[in-house]
Amino acid sequence: MSLGTAGNTGNQVRAFRGATQLSQDSVSEMSSAVAELLQEMLLRNKISQEDLVSIFFTATPDLISDFPATGARSIGFTDVPLICAVEIAVPGSLPRCVRVMMHATSARKRSEIEHVYLRGAITLRKDLQK
């Protein structure tokens, strides 16, 4: 039995990572930052919303104005399973950060996946800076 074929021959379920840093904790900033990140993840990896399986969000404990999933729903992710959790509070870690793990069917090999880190979150993955 092959997981992730979902009618797309050669496609498998893949995980795509991303993160962004909000400039402030507000409903509008949460919505715009999450929307920007998700759209960039889809664009860079040539994924359509139809390819999405699920999205898992974490937010640092200092983000309490809204759920990251609300931002996803505002751009049409209404039939994709979404869940939010709180990131562990490691001293000195990046504040106001939303992290994403998106599962989607894709023909890309793991080595071809482009993980997306925007705004101040690029400091989390200096190895991915261009």
* Cα–Cα dist 30/38, whole Å: 12
pLDDT of res. 127: 63
pLDDT of res. 10: 75
pLDDT of res. 2: 41
pLDDT of res. 3: 47
pLDDT of res. 124: 79
pLDDT of res. 126: 61
Q: Which mean pLDDT values do the consecutive 10-residue runs of the chain (130 residues) have?
A: 49 95 97 96 95 97 96 94 95 94 95 92 68
* Cα–Cα dist 97/49, whole Å: 23
Beta-ladder partners of 116: 18
What number of other Cβ atoms are within 10 A of residue 65's Cβ? 15
Task: Map tokens 């939010």 to a residue.
Answer: 84
∠79-107-128 over CA atoms, to 5°?
90
Beta-ladder partners of 55: 82, 102
Give me the domains of the chain, ranges plus CATH numbers.
15-123 (3.30.1330.40)
pLDDT of res. 6: 47
